[in-house]
Amino acid sequence: MYCRKSLKRFFDHEEVFEITRQGFAFYEDHFGQPYPFGKYDQLFVPEYNSGAMENVGCVTFNESQVFRDPPTDTQRLVRAEVVLHELAHMWFGNLVTMKWWDGLWLNESFATYISFLAMSEATRFQDGWENFLGTIKTWAYREDQKPTTHPISGVVKDTDETFLNFDGITYGKGAAVLKQLRAAIGGEAFRDGLRLYFDRHAWGNTTIEDFLAPLGEASGKDLDSWAASWLETSGVNVLRPEIGANGVELRQDPDAADARLRPHRVDVSLFTGDDALSATRTWALDIDGASTPLAGDVPGTSRLLWANHGDHAYARVFLDDASLACVQERLSDVDDPLVRMGLWGTLWEMLRDGAIPPAEFIALAARFLPRESKPEILETNLRLSGVALARYAAPAKRAALGSTLFEAACNALTATETGCDRQLIWGRAIPPFIASKSDATTFLGWLDDAAPGALPVDQGLRWRILQKASAFGLADVAARLDIESERDPSHRGKKARFAADTSWPDADRKRGLFERFADPDDSADLLKAGMAS
């Protein structure tokens, strides 16, 4: 394992070694194949233009995975997933390789899915599926609703088209569909099918048919129609419970751009209770039509019907009116964290559809997130709150809504133990909430005075505070930036300073910097930092 000498003091390499060892043990057992190469090196390198690359026996990682500031447990979880993802490629991608680029999903969908499975079953990160739902599937749903969506296994005419498919469909949707397939055929059949696949195709090249055939043999199921519905089409269906004169039914609606209904393996659960909302009844369903009845009655109020318990289905899940009213009042009472993450996802999809205004999503975040105990749910939805503010809220309302989030965050910092994971998450979530010069001035003051709750203002947060101050053109920022550059002369510091400079609200300065962005001899790593500011 290698990193730059200057980063050695920050590198918690023992944790990376532990995750790697656990990944080796899980994959060798699950795939029925020993590690196929003579060595395995992991290099954390500077100015790397992607997250990681699975070179045979020598994986390169972006050195941002070496944490200079105290990491949250979610950051460690995300790094563990990247380590396991690249390790999985030694089997899926290197031992067995796709025949052509239309099989890219055989590499990336599978490595994404199996890394989360390995993480949840073989490491201390037992909350991986919450992160998967809040990040990977959210990414997939967004990409699958765009005009640029495409089938998981599509036609790639030449290598120029290949790079169009490194996206949320190939990584996210493909992984989510594999999760659904495993739920449908069973974990043992899925594992046994993978072992057959590697036995037959080690050191060879494969197609979609080569992958599905052993899974079908192990499960005793014909997967051709499943593949046609899921791998060769695009779009995402909607699932929602409906209460009518004939009782309760689960409705499936087609994607707006595709009239196709698809097969789903879903668990629909009823949550009730005075203190906690717990699953008191579950309907296990295999559906493929527009309507599926649910036997029995459900209460009219103070209950939640959730149509994707366990998060096996790849579908946008919406709520009946009574369930939505329950969530708006009692979201924190739902005792299953994966369901809570799913409910936040539903609220997010409702915002994107225009069914609820950004102000309502932000108000719910300010109300319920201070009570959230799971860091993955907290971090994901604080991030989405910032996106709601920046991309969906009307410009005239952003300052007030940003202040609502900033105030909620400051109160949470004060109410939380100094330096703990939750406090770090709240503190680092704040920069996107700063939407007024007044709040930017208060935020800048954290460099001089104690932050709320004695939050440790680490170097990364110091730069983000200064970037916000620069974006609002606050006085004496230039002098402060010079001081901060002396304090942090690292490559990360240079990128952060450049991002602050490009944020300054001056058209002439931005025009000059724009010309620099077109210079092919400048550092792409540095320029990307400025473009993102």
| Residues annotated catalytic, as ranges | 86
Tens of pLDDT, residues 313-325: 999 999 999 999 9
Q: How many domains does the chain have?
A: 4
For residues 501-526, give the mean pLDDT: 87
Predicted confidence band of residue 532 (pLDDT cuts 50, 70, 90) = confident
What CATH number corresponds to the domain at position 32?
1.10.390.10
Q: Which residue has the higher pLDDT, 50 or 189?
A: 189
Q: Are 255 and 331 in the same domain?
A: yes
Q: Are 267 and 196 in the same domain?
A: no
For residues 437-447, give the mean pLDDT: 97
Q: What pLDDT is stored for residue 160 in this prediction?
A: 86
- CA–CA gap between residue 120 and residue 179 (Å, rounded): 13
Q: How far is CA 87 from the centre of its chain?
A: 19
For residues 148-166, give the mean pLDDT: 89
| 449 inside domain | no
Q: Which domain holds residue 168?
A: 5-230
Q: Are 291 and 416 in the same domain?
A: no
| 218 inside domain | yes
- CA–CA gap between residue 59 and residue 368 (Å, rounded): 40
What's the alpha-carbon Rg for the chain, to the nearest Å?
Answer: 24
* Domain end call among 404, 437, 470: 437
Q: Are 37 and 128 in the same domain?
A: yes
Q: Which residues pair with 249 in a beta bridge?
A: 242, 293
Q: What pLDDT is stored for residue 84 in this prediction?
A: 99
Q: Are 39 and 118 in the same domain?
A: yes
* Domain end call among 230, 255, 271: 230
DSSP string, 193-260: HHHHHHHHHTTEEE-HHHHHHHHHHHHT---HHHHHHHTS-----EEEEEEETTEEEEEEE-BTTB--
Tens of pLDDT, residues 12-28: 999 999 999 999 999 99
Choice among 132-136, 253-257, 387-391, 499-503 with the minimum mean pLDDT: 253-257
Residue 245 predicted with pLDDT over 80? no
Average pLDDT, the chain: 95
Q: Are 60 and 92 in the same domain?
A: yes
Q: Are 59 and 181 in the same domain?
A: yes
Q: Are 406 and 340 in the same domain?
A: no
| 446 inside domain | no
Q: Are 91 and 190 in the same domain?
A: yes
Q: What percent of the chain has pLDDT over 70?
A: 100
Predicted confidence band of residue 168 (pLDDT cuts 50, 70, 90) = very high
| 442 inside domain | no
